[in-house]
Structure 1
Amino acid sequence: LQTCLSPSIHSENPRKSFFNQVSLFLTQNNKLDTNQSGFRSGHSAESALLSVIEALRIAKADSKSSVLILLDLSAAFDTVNHQILPSALSSLGITGITLRWLESYLTGRSFRVAWRGEVSKAHQLVTGVPQGSVLGPLLFSIYTTSLGLIIQAHGFSYHCYTDDTQVYLSFQPDDPTVAARISGCLVDISALMKEHSLQLNLAKTELLVFRATPTLRHDFTIQLGSSTITPSTSVRNLGVIFDDQLIFKDHIAKTVRSCRFALHNIRKIRFFLTEHAAQLLVQALVISRLDFCNALLAGLPSSTIKSLQMIQNAAARLVFNEPRRAYVTPLFISLHWLLVAARIKFKTLMLAYRTATGSAPTYFHSLL
């Protein structure tokens, strides 16, 4: 990679050039972790979450319980060790002028603190990758590649979205070793983090338990040092609220509330908007929320997603400034909108097609 990759100093954006070339090299040579979905073409938060959800649903169908652990890293991008990162890059074949360019990009940076009109002296940054840069997530993903090996060594599965890591395990309901396995895995993860100058925040690490049957009870209170991790009934995961029954009622309720708020605000200015402007606002502020990670809702009963359909009906009426009881079918036809259930089905069918044709993330192949 030392000859084919050389970010040009004459490039309009050398960081973007580096990102494109390194990403292409790592993808073509299968160097990237297949369970890392952050900032990769064809991957998304939705595909990452869907991979985890499908594994949990399959386990439940097999009468197994599962645990899901959401790891929390403190200031992850700011603590990347500049001595360890080049070694990680070299192990993937990134050497020579490319590696030297990156080292020069990371070193010699400084920062100042502004407070109440006063600015501090410049201090040199000796750790971290630039946040807000296109390179930050890619470099962090490479830096933490060994994390997956530790997790798999304990028999757990995992999925990452840049610095958000989800660890999960399915097991027979009567397995007495699960709590000890969780503790052992987290201890080794914490040790690896310390070796890489990262900090695993156990106080903010979340644990969800998915029971094989509603009558089961699992006591998975995990004690690690001074930190105690207890199961939650719901957690926020990459913008989606997961619940321990996988019915997404809390997530749907939150989506409905945010959409109602947006519709209320648009309605206050609807008189001043053209029909086209109203449609643009509704699609940006309401329909986008209905579509966000909606593939996760596939298979849910129509009664569960009924409230989402009511929001879409209200959105269509608002676009055309129709009364609240107006018939919505002709409005949907004019807007070329699918109903909520059809939008979910369309999303999953598109994903199935992409998987069958090889353009979807490789971790979906096992689901076909």
Structure 2
Amino acid sequence: DLVFSNLDTINVSIDRDNKISDHETLSIKINNCDKNCDMNVECVVKVKCWKKYSRQNLQALLINNMNSENFVTNDINEKANTLTEIIKKCVNKLVCVKFIKTKSHNKWYNIELKICKQKRDKAYKKAVNSNDFWDWEHYKVLRNEYACTLRRKKSDFVQNQINDNKCDSKKLWKTLKNLIKPGANKTKNTKIKFDCDNDNESDNINCDNFTIANKLNNYFIKSVKEINESIENTNYEVPEQNCDTNNRPQLGEFRQITISELSSIISKLKNTSGVDEISAQVLKDSFDVIGLKLLEIINDSLSRGVVPSSWKISTVIPIPKVPNTEKASEHRPINMLPAYEKVLEIIVKDQLVQYLESNKILVREQSGFRAKHSCETALNLLLAKWKKQIEKKQTIIAVFLDLKRAFETISRPVLIKVLEKYEIHGSVLKWFKNYLENRQQITRFDDAASIPQYNSLGVPQGGVLAPILFILYINDIKTVLKFCDVNLFADDTVIFIALDNAIAATNCINEDLNNLTMWLKHKKLKLNTSKTKFMVISNKHNLPLQEIKVKINDDEIEKISVMKYLGVMIDDKLKFTEHIDYTIKKIGKKYGILCRLDEKLTTWSKILLYKSLIAPHIDYCSSILYLASDTQLKRLQRLQNKFMRMILKCRRDTRTKDMLEAMQWLSVKQRLMFNTLVLIYKIKTKIVPSYLSDNIVYGSDIHNYYTRFRNDMRPVSCTMLSTKNQLFCKGVIEFNKLPTAAKDARSVNIFKRYCTTFVRENCI
């Protein structure tokens, strides 16, 4: 006797006392069925009622409460507290908290369907009682009408949900998951396991939310402190960078902002919920009344170098890394900042970035959190260097570093010294010192908030300043490396060396890794050696791979042949076959989900879902996917064909060309070529970082003759087929085939129009 179920919490037991013939009696029990089944179970939830809230009502209340005598003090903390308390008070008058009963019902089920169902049921009862032929026929008509209306209402509801969330992939996936498994997103766990202080056993906590929130807050702070304490102290001195600090402008004071600048910043804030009553939407609605006071507080903060104490409180939301986990260690702390602190951070960040970029302080190899930079530009820089070294028949050894909770373990005193090193002083330095000191964090679990605790490590996450401060914190990494080159995207770091002799390269990279280890200890950053890997990249077949041993503090690093870096699977032959496999696997899963929803989705919904959920996988780092072989790209094309057949409901033998024409889509190869040509156009017009445009050479740079190809790009000189397969060779050759009008286009949009026509006609 067998029991099959798709429920995770089903328990089956055998009752041996009650037998039916030669069969055992099976007892089936479903635990927590309300979490897994679409049961119409009522539950009470706390919600905010916004019926009385409006922009006009909020502003009217603020005008009555914004008395000038409330702001006579010169203390910035008092002024900031007064302003935020007034706003919160006014919002609380308009927004009340209610406890309501919710029922897990289908949201598309409305009064029209209810009436239709009542008519059907009434006709059924009449037909059963009379057993008349025409009564049964009338019932069948109403039954079919109800079924058609139900399908139509459900389809319309799904269509509206997809249209509303088409720009938010997270909400879009939530909608699809609810269609497949209703109620799956409502699972909530109230039982967390915490490691004990004195032993390795676990203490199962199944208590009120306030206790859990406090324990989670303690755990998050303590876990970071343990990482910090495990790092040895060192007297290592970072080598000075070769730069002339005498001629470099200094950042000694912030520029005061105007009311129009502040209005522009607040209007661009995303309408996300805040950590308190003052959300981004509330700031926008109240700005006409509080704008001048908020401007005064912000400009005082910038000039005095003081951040209001009440603004320096972070809220942590624990998000499970694993579904239904009960372990505190398997919760990811998501930091959130008040909306008003985010505004202050944006102002400071803009002025800090302008100083760093205009004076070229950040290293060229850093592509993280910088304008015009992206994962694609960082990868193309790395591949261009590697292809050049392979062309010289050198062996490349690359080490992919993994830092453990890098943003959270930063030493704040060391960060202040880094700021001083880059000529940041005066009220600006004072502001950063005040911004980093005496910061508190609370943790929210369900509807409970923990007691605030001081956090003395790391940079405050959840805002825009933390990423900039981090990349500045590790900006001197190149000075530590004597032999190796580096590629950076925030904390995703690759160091590599290329030499003719693989053993010599190994010795050099080991020496640099020892220096790097000391530098990391000085910076109070923890290297995760178990996740740090190395790869040998070469076209040579007689490499002494057994003798190549890369070590960190006498610990051998694992050698791999494939590594996921910035979302791309890089293999040791740079053929990207594994990346095609990885992309197909991700797209294939989503194809399976859409197939299950095929009958519930309209044609328009399927097209929208393809563009929102599938096409981004092909568009991501297209210039890297473009380097894959035609055989591999055909595998992707077959997957696109499946989507087109599902949308158009075509037969299997329908030609790809006809389906593409009907959908007005580009094929996979055409799409990859299109995106690659657009990237090269951006390189030509210097829309992307200069480290890519520096690889471009024109005919006019080589000779002074007025030939037809004088203004064309010259592909890099390569003798090997493997090294020709790169952006600056394969991509440039295709770009030169474009018509002159396309190459001389004045904007990206005009270029895209020319490029689309060219790709359709020339790429098969």
TM-score under structure 1 normalisation?
Answer: 0.91
Deviation at 1:254, TM superposition (A): 1.4
Deviation at 1:40, TM superposition (A): 1.0
Q: Which residue of 1 aligns with 2:430?
A: 100
1:308 corresponds to which of 630, 633, 636:
636
| Corresponding position: 1:280 with 2:615 | no
Deviation at 1:278, TM superposition (A): 1.1
1:3 corresponds to which of 253, 272, 281:
253
Amino acid at match of 1:70: F
CA distance in 2 between partners of 1:225 and 1:22 (Å) = 37
Deviation at 1:275, TM superposition (A): 2.2
SS at match of 2:503: coil
1:67 corresponds to which of 393, 397, 408:
397
Alignment of 1:1-368 (within 5 A): 1-5=251-255, 10=295, 13-112=343-442, 121-151=451-481, 154-172=482-500, 174-218=501-545, 219-368=547-696
Deviation at 1:321, TM superposition (A): 3.3
1:5–1:18: 8 Å Cα contact kept in structure 2? no
2:394–2:498: 8 Å Cα contact kept in structure 1? yes
Deviation at 1:307, TM superposition (A): 1.0
Superposed CA offset, 1:96-127 (max 9, x none): 33333332222221234678999765431111
Superposed CA offset, 1:120-165 (max 9, x none): 65431111012232211111000111112212xx221111111111
Deviation at 1:186, TM superposition (A): 0.6
CA distance in 2 between partners of 1:239 and 1:133 (Å) = 24
The count of aligned residue pairs is 365
Amino acid at match of 2:680: A
1:72–1:202: 8 Å Cα contact kept in structure 2? yes
Amino acid at match of 2:532: T
CA distance in 1 between partners of 2:397 and 2:552 (Å) = 17
Superposed CA offset, 1:251-282 (max 9, x none): 11111011111011112212222222211111
CA distance in 2 between partners of 1:65 and 1:77 (Å) = 33
Greater relative contact order, per chain length (Cα 8 Å cut-off, separation 6+)? 1
CA distance in 1 between partners of 2:502 and 2:535 (Å) = 17
Q: Which residue of 1 aligns with 2:224?
A: none
Go from structure 1 to structure 2 and tell me whether the alpha carbon gap of 1:118 and 1:227 turns closer, same or farther (over 3 Å shift).
Answer: farther
Go from structure 1 to structure 2 and tell me whether the alpha carbon gap of 1:336 and 1:58 turns closer, same or farther (over 3 Å shift).
Answer: farther
SS at match of 1:127: coil
Amino acid at match of 1:263: Y
* Unpaired stretches in structure 2, ≥5 consecutive residues: 1-250, 263-293, 299-339, 697-764
1:206–1:231: 8 Å Cα contact kept in structure 2? yes
1:233–1:244: 8 Å Cα contact kept in structure 2? yes
Superposed CA offset, 1:153-180 (max 9, x none): x2211111111111111111x3532221
CA distance in 2 between partners of 1:101 and 1:327 (Å) = 65
Deviation at 1:229, TM superposition (A): 0.9
Q: Which of 1 and 2 has greater Rg? A: 2
Go from structure 1 to structure 2 and tell me whether the alpha carbon gap of 1:127 and 1:322 turns closer, same or farther (over 3 Å shift).
Answer: same
Amino acid at match of 1:357: T
Amino acid at match of 1:3: E
Amino acid at match of 1:267: C
CA distance in 1 between partners of 2:256 and 2:531 (Å) = 41
Superposed CA offset, 1:183-202 (max 9, x none): 11111111001111111222
Superposed CA offset, 1:66-101 (max 9, x none): 111111111110111111212222333333333333
TM-score under structure 2 normalisation?
Answer: 0.45
Deviation at 1:6, TM superposition (A): 5.2
CA distance in 2 between partners of 1:43 and 1:61 (Å) = 27
Superposed CA offset, 1:223-247 (max 9, x none): 3335211321111111111111111
